[in-house]
A and B are shown apart, each in its own frame.
Chain A
Amino acid sequence: MKQETVHADKVQLAYAGILSKATTLGMILVALGYIVYVFQLMPLSVPIDQVAGNWGLRASEFHQKVPGAPSGWSCFSHAGQGDMLSYISIIYLGIVTMMCLVAAGFAFLREKNMIYTLVSFAQIAVLILAAAGVVSGGH
């Protein structure tokens, strides 16, 4: 019987290392942000009742009726409010993959693997454009 051998290369291990730490941090941030939000430990930009009273509307109609509710990067301009903190923790989840891809891109570069260095940075560019709202309908 053969002993288990690990076949992951250095790039995969680098990606896994960052992913593991970043995800654990993300889950802690999401939990803490939500506790601050629902227990109203900080002031809110929009009362929870108002959010719940309109969550049956289309997203576009919701934001017309509930101005001030977080969307995109607007949350950072009111980071001192509980609902914005919770939203920022969700934004963080959208950044985790980008951080891992940056690590992978540089690891491929160190290995002089130009194809995957290019693929990594092209992928990062797509995600950055999406995060910036350039290709994702942001304001």
Chain B
Amino acid sequence: MGLKNIKVGLLPGVLATLLFLMPQLAFAASATSVDTTVWWVWVLGLFVFTFLLGIVAVIAGVGGGVLYVPIVSSFFPFHIDFVRGTGLLVALAGALSAGPPLLRKGLANLKLAMSMSLIGSMSSIAGALVGLALPEKAIQMALGLTILGITVIMFLSKNSAYPQIEKPDALSKALQIHGIYYDEHLKKDVDWQIHRTPVGLLLFILIGFMAGMFGLGAGWANVPVFNLVLGAPLRVSVATSVFVLSINDTAAAWVYLHKGAVLPLIAVPSVAGMMLGTKIGAKLLTKVHTNVVRRVVIILLAVAGLRALLKGFGI
């Protein structure tokens, strides 16, 4: 088991070190240099890279978008505008394919998702508009700081599988947000309700804005807010987050589409690679130690965040 964990952690660990120390050696190009590599090498490389990211992302329990944007924008020659547009599509495609079984099992709750995404989708449009208007260096800097913040959240957050909510708040009662699902771990039905709905709504404005601005998807923020702030069970939080993603990312993706910040040449191999990778990752999920991979992803994110920050400073 230990050897297996080392093997699983080795590839992304080596990749992270290589990318940080020698990006030019690793990918032999930067956005500013004249790129003489033929296009299909980049496209194929992107597909392979996103395939590996997909495997790692699902095992670590993070969305693909949050890994995709900082890493691809740091180490591939595409402008960050196109990377953010593609990052939203990567997160959107993943959310769309993951959705049906989560809804059918009753794990995802449509009322909870729709209540939060109505306001979140509006702010994600605003975030995308601001993000595409800001200078590149400011975006890189803000992205770097955000990714480093996410790294800290991932490192410190302790989810609560079954939060106990004694009394739902008035707004959640008015919005009929409560539910019941069959928990495969407990082998019984679990009733749930939520509280602090107004606080949750405010937080989803912020989350939507950041998702749109950086093209990150936002599972990293949706899940803690659903789980730790609103008090939804962890499984419901993870599943419902997928629906909030699919709505908010759709809204922001339209901004990128209208601004011409989506290139099919980059977007399709990214979406395909990530989706294939997540399918393989889901199969490996029971065979590898997820905590080890999660730690590696935290390191990978920290490295990518630091690189983005340095790029923002022109270093």
Contact = CB atoms under 8 A, between A and B. Distances in A.
Interface of A: 1-2, 4-8, 11-13, 15-17, 19-20, 22-23, 26-27, 30-31, 33-34, 37-38, 48-49, 51-53, 55-60, 62-63, 69-72, 83, 86-87, 89-91, 93-94, 96-98, 101, 104, 113, 115-116, 119-120, 122-123, 126-127, 130-131, 133, 135-139
**What does DSSP make chain A's interface, helix, strand, loop or mixed?**
helix
A30 B250 contact: no
Interface in B144-176: 174-176
Nearest to B78: A55
Interface bin, chain B: 35 or more
A92 B32 CA distance: 33
Contacts, number: 215
A52 B247 contact: no
A56 B121 contact: no
B132 A59 contact: yes
Interface of B: 31-32, 35, 38-40, 42-43, 77-79, 81-82, 85, 89, 92-93, 96-97, 99-101, 103-106, 108, 110-111, 114-115, 117-118, 121-122, 125, 128-129, 132, 136, 174-176, 179-182, 184, 187-189, 246-247, 250-251, 253-269, 271-272, 275
A49 B255 contact: no
Interface centre among A38, A48, A55, A131 (most CB of B within 10 A): A55
Given A1-B187, A119-B114, A63 B125 contact: no
Nearest to A72: B258
